[in-house]
Amino acid sequence: MINVLEFLKTYFSLLASAIQVLFSLFITVVLLGAIISIVEKIDFWDAQYFSFITALTIGYGDVTPHTLLGKVMSILLGIIGMIFIGIMVAAAIKSIEKVSLEKR
């Protein structure tokens, strides 16, 4: 059994080392949402909602792009989201490894 507090300490320490990348990806999602708002002629906040739902690979389908540029940006959002989530998962796995190895 791993120590949860030690895991969280290690996890957030690893995320802190990747904060610039994570922040850049977050800002890119917001900016793409703003562009989608203009391209698709939809409300800014609906476009932000769409942007984050797409980046998180949830994809409810209640807001969808209709233009070619909107569809291309949706694909880009999905890729950015996979990178973002990949970093989060990698940090969690590395944290579990570190805490498990320290326990031995």
The CATH number of the domain holding residue 61 is 1.10.287.70
Domain assignment present for 102: no
- CB of 60 within 8 A of CB of 52? no
- Report whether pLDDT(104) > 90: no
| pLDDT number for residue 1 | 65
CA distance 11 to 96: 8
Domain assignment present for 104: no
The domain tally of the chain equals 1
Domain assignment present for 5: no
Domain assignment present for 35: yes
For 63-84, what is the mean pLDDT? 96
Mean pLDDT of the chain: 94
Is the whole model's pTM more than 0.85, yes or no?
Answer: yes
pLDDT > 70 in the chain, percent? 97
Q: Choose among 71, 2, 5: nearest CA to 40.
A: 71
Residue 75 belongs to domain spanning:
12-96
Domain assignment present for 54: yes
